[in-house]
Amino acid sequence: TGFVDPNAEIEEHNGLDEDFSDEDDEEESSNADVEDNEDEEDNESESTSDSSDSDNSIDPEVAREKFQQLREQHSKTLAVIEKHGRSGKRAQDQIALLGEIFKQFRLVPKQFDLLVLSMKEMMKRVRYQERQLQKILVDIAGMPKDDFEKI
């Protein structure tokens, strides 16, 4: 689902040793006693851990509830922004609440990188448009640069 529970214990994949068993047949016979002892210790520690922590994904019902909260707050925030403007006190409060709800989501690095890349590309487009406006207003129309920067 793209969500990782940050409180869950990390599972280790033990199947890798089996995949390369043909190469290490000679070494396995000498290390068999040591591995048996390690397996017994692993089994003891696994039995004491909570079985619900072995799954790193979030419960779909919890995810659904969090997305619903995010949707509701987003629509409230948009309504307040349309009514009072983005710089209004009520709008700033709603934006802060929206941010708090969004902070509950734990994104995997791949998704986080995509969000950051999207924001960087958007900022590039905004800067390009600003430069175009500045060129038109300051260079062509003769507007003082100080006045343009105030806007």
Residues with Cβ within 8 Å of residue 55, at least 6 apart in sequence: 5, 8
Domain co-membership, 115 together with 143: yes
Do residues 50 and 67 share a domain? Answer: no
Same domain flag for 75 and 33 = no
Domain extent, residue 92, equals 59-106
The number of angstroms, rounded, from the C-alpha of 151 to the middle of its chain's C-alpha atoms is: 35
Same domain assignment for residues 20 and 43: yes
Considering the domain architecture, whether residues 93 and 123 belong to the same structural domain is answered as no
Residue 45 sits in the same domain as residue 9:
yes
Rounded to 5 degrees, φ, ψ at 50 are -75, 130
- In angstroms, the CA 6 to CA 4 distance is 6
Count structural domains, the chain: 3
Same domain for 3 and 38? Answer: yes
Same domain, yes or no: 113 and 101: no
Same domain, 10 and 51: yes
- The pTM (predicted TM-score) of the whole model is 0.43
**Over its length of 151 residues, how does the chain's per-residue pLDDT go in tens digits?**
555 655 555 554 444 444 444 444 444 444 444 444 444 444 444 444 444 444 566 788 888 898 899 999 999 999 999 998 888 899 999 999 999 998 888 778 888 888 899 999 999 999 999 999 999 999 999 999 888 888 7
